[in-house]
Copies of this chain bind each other. A is one copy, B any other.
Amino acid sequence: MTFHEDHPREACGVFGVYAPGRDVARTTFFGLYALQHRGQESAGIVTSDGRAAYSHKGMGLVAQVFNEENLSPLKGHLAIGHTRYSTTGSSHIRNAQPTLIETMYGPLAVAHNGNLTNALQLRQRLLERGVGLSSTTDTELVTQILAAPPEVWGSDIFQLNPDDPVPDRWMVRIRAFQEIAEGAYSLAILTEDAVYAVRDPLGLRPLCLGELDGGGYVIASETCALMTIGAKFVRELEAGEILRLDRAGVSSVRGKQAPKEALCVFEYVYFARPDSVMGGEMIHLVRQQMGRQLAIEASADADIVVGVPDSATPHAIGFAQQSGLPYTEGLTKNRYIGRTFIQPDDNLRKQGINLKYNGLTANLKGKRVILIDDSIVRGNTAGPMVQLMRDSGASEVHLRVASPPVKHPCFMGVDMATYRELIANKYDIPSICAKIGADSLDYLSLPGMMSAIRTVLGHDAGYCNACFSGVYPITIPNWLFADERDKTIFEAKLRV
């Protein structure tokens, strides 16, 4: 029994800080440390002391990339940082972020969470201008677009809102970028003397603002990074907003607006850390409520409720509370599981090697179990998980999923899966139940999930739930839909 990870993968965590008198590189290090769950492939920090920019990037976890020797030369009073997850194909230090270039107006560094849906066109425009590109990342596109005057992109200087401050050069360029870019982006941008934070008009990826005790501001993908470094949470950025942190404090322009927000609903389901606040409330509470709603919609006659650790524990606690069934642990997870490249041989596979989970037979023996998972994407884990429950003595296994069936891919920066890989795109629920061998299977309904969020948050913002509903908040170009598309399409020319 081998357990593959059956979760979509978040692309990135971003962080920024403007705080004279503080060790901003160190502050960024600990901020990234708290955002590690948003990307484990590479990490990087760029700082500025107002005269020059300093940078260090590397492959691996934040704690592996940085040590005192490479952190201490990162001087200055402003910084941005990035943790990255990526598909294997483009896993290379060359693609690590933040990117850093020199421009007419000094250093410019960009850290990016999201995916530009018109990256191909933007890339083409840069190449046509005669700008050579050295990587295949969206972030290099953002950087080179910002390096050129806005006129180049044919976008008029945007109209200020009456209450906007007079924008500076970089705000103008960022605003122009918003006009020509499509898709998802939460950006942390560093110039010689300011940090900028930007969200796309739909607010697809999260971004929040915090304040440091002795003065100074930080921005981060999630509030957990603020808590970790002891910063006070101020507010989440609005969709389309452009924020500048500099010696004058915080200034903001509204930026490009969309008719409706569309925050990625999967942040609530799985991505965000349970202790982060998003939309005004803590993620853990939303997940408990999803579990409660699931209990209302789809309970079962059973003895105990167990969750798949660790991500589905909040949902399972909520389910147990609502259903009145006792909550307990049914599985242990090997805490020291690291990336190993050693593969089991046939003998081990045949005898059912379990690297990640073991069943707690003492709790399961003879019990009718409701097993809660937060989501099912490809469906390759659910079957072995049900089997493990049975092998551990469960007499019945009722699988309940605290989100709706995932039927559509994401094109806004989440590595979900292709249409062909999504089990719920190919099969209906009874077929899936049969395939995974559960006694029963049910999902939380889409209205149920949205109502759970609304219940906790107390208001109804706009969300992107395209992976469940197929209703995308922006037009997705056809080439992105092509299931067969070569993921390395951008990489065809450079194999660095």
Chain A contact residues, CB within 8 Å of chain B: 22-23, 26-27, 29-30, 33-34, 36-37, 40, 51-55, 61-64, 66-68, 71, 73, 99-104, 106-108, 127-134, 143-144, 146-149, 152, 212-214, 224, 227-231, 273-275, 281-282, 284-285, 310, 313-314, 317, 321, 326-329, 332, 334-342, 344-345, 347-348, 350-355, 358-363, 492-496
Q: Is the interface of A mostly helix, strand, loop or mixed?
A: mixed
Q: A359: which B residues are within 8 A, CB to CB?
A: 275
**Docked-complex contact A358 and B23, CB < 8 angstroms:** no
**Docked-complex contact B229 and A348, CB < 8 angstroms:** yes
Q: How far is the CB of A84 from chain B (nearest CB, A)?
A: 14
Q: A106-B493, A493-B106 are in contact. Are A33 and B230 (CB under 8 A)?
A: no
**Docked-complex contact A34 and B334, CB < 8 angstroms:** yes
Q: A102: which B residues are within 8 A, CB to CB?
A: 127, 132-134, 493-494
Q: A317-B328, A342-B29, A342-B67 are in contact. Are A229 and B334 (CB under 8 A)?
A: no
| Extra A-B contacts (14), CB below 8 Å, given A73-B495, A100-B496, A274-B332 | A30-B342, A34-B334, A34-B355, A36-B334, A52-B494, A61-B338, A63-B339, A101-B134, A106-B493, A130-B149, A132-B144, A228-B354, A284-B332, A285-B362
Residue in chain B with minimal CB distance to A73: B495
Q: A33-B334, A33-B340 are in contact. Are A132 and B143 (CB under 8 A)?
A: yes
**Docked-complex contact B132 and A108, CB < 8 angstroms:** yes
Q: A149: which B residues are within 8 A, CB to CB?
A: 130
Q: A350: which B residues are within 8 A, CB to CB?
A: 213, 230
Q: How far is the CB of A406 from chain B (nearest CB, A)?
A: 23
User: How far apart sit A164 and B133, CA to CA, in the bound complex (Å)?
Assistant: 32
User: How far apart sit A348 and B19, CA to CA, in the bound complex (Å)?
Assistant: 12
**Docked-complex contact B493 and A348, CB < 8 angstroms:** no
**Docked-complex contact A495 and B55, CB < 8 angstroms:** yes
**Docked-complex contact B230 and A353, CB < 8 angstroms:** yes
Q: A224-B358, A342-B67 are in contact. Are A131 and B131 (CB under 8 A)?
A: yes
- Which of B23, B26, B101, B328 sits near A133, CB closer than 8 Å? B101
Q: A147-B131, A363-B285 are in contact. Are A275 and B61 (CB under 8 A)?
A: no
**Docked-complex contact B23 and A347, CB < 8 angstroms:** yes
**Docked-complex contact A26 and B214, CB < 8 angstroms:** no
- Which of B99, B342, B362 sits near A284, CB closer than 8 Å? B362
**Docked-complex contact A360 and B275, CB < 8 angstroms:** yes
**Docked-complex contact A129 and B148, CB < 8 angstroms:** yes
User: How far apart sit A27 and B146, CA to CA, in the bound complex (Å)?
Assistant: 41
User: How far apart sit A101 and B130, CA to CA, in the bound complex (Å)?
Assistant: 11
Q: A152: which B residues are within 8 A, CB to CB?
A: 130
Q: A493: which B residues are within 8 A, CB to CB?
A: 52-53, 102, 106-107
Q: A127: which B residues are within 8 A, CB to CB?
A: 102-104
User: How far apart sit A88 and B224, CA to CA, in the bound complex (Å)?
Assistant: 32
Q: How far is the CB of A15 from chain B (nearest CB, A)?
A: 14
User: How far apart sit A335 and B362, CA to CA, in the bound complex (Å)?
Assistant: 26
User: How far apart sit A106 and B363, CA to CA, in the bound complex (Å)?
Assistant: 47
Q: A68-B342, A102-B127 are in contact. Are A355 and B134 (CB under 8 A)?
A: no
**Could you give 20 example pairs across A and B, Cβ below 8 Å?**
A36-B334, A52-B495, A53-B495, A55-B495, A63-B337, A64-B338, A102-B132, A104-B128, A131-B131, A132-B143, A228-B355, A230-B354, A273-B358, A275-B359, A275-B360, A281-B362, A284-B329, A284-B332, A285-B363, A317-B328
User: How far apart sit A94 and B26, CA to CA, in the bound complex (Å)?
Assistant: 24
User: How far apart sit A320 and B148, CA to CA, in the bound complex (Å)?
Assistant: 62
* Interface-centre pick from A37, A101, A359 (highest chain B CB count, 10 A): A101
Residue in chain B with minimal CB distance to A105: B127
